[in-house]
Amino acid sequence: MSVFDVEIEALRGGSADLGQYRGKAVLVVNVASRCGLTPQYSGLERLQERFAGRGFTVLGVPCNQFMGQEPGTADEIAEFCSTTYGVTFPMTEKIEVNGDGRHPLYQGLVGSPDAEGHTGDIRWNFEKFLIAPDGAVAARFAPQTEPEADEVVAAIEKNLPS
């Protein structure tokens, strides 16, 4: 089973249908609106704009597990992302990424190491997982890694569908 088979709701209800991304590269990011890293939304949106036409999408996954930094309702989160950062990429429902309530999406992601070898629990908001077109985790990036960092862009370019 790949991440494309996981069932998850869209931010404003209905299925997010991850299967629609099969054959594309997807950057899955646990996001929060009241975090010191929240300005990363700008870089994520620029990645979306830059690579969307080449078989890529960012997938924002709101999470309130880190100091309550994503307390809003679905409508509040959507409004904030749209008006503050011009976000056009898809967003899922708010989920848990760690602990007993960890969503199946993240159960399939956390075993993948980042460049420093970290596996397991999500460390903070804005941890990033690049999913290859076949559904395998191609790369994991620490929360502090900027979305447009050279290593992120290089990994995306390497995993774009041919």
Which amino acids are annotated catalytic?
A: 35
Alpha-carbon distance of 88 to 81, in angstroms, equals 9
Cβ contacts of residue 2 below 8 Å, gap of 6+? 22, 108, 131, 134, 135, 136
Query: Three-state SS for 154?
Result: helix
User: How many CB atoms neighbour CB 91 within 10 A?
Assistant: 22
Residue 77: closest CA among 109, 47, 41, 101: 41
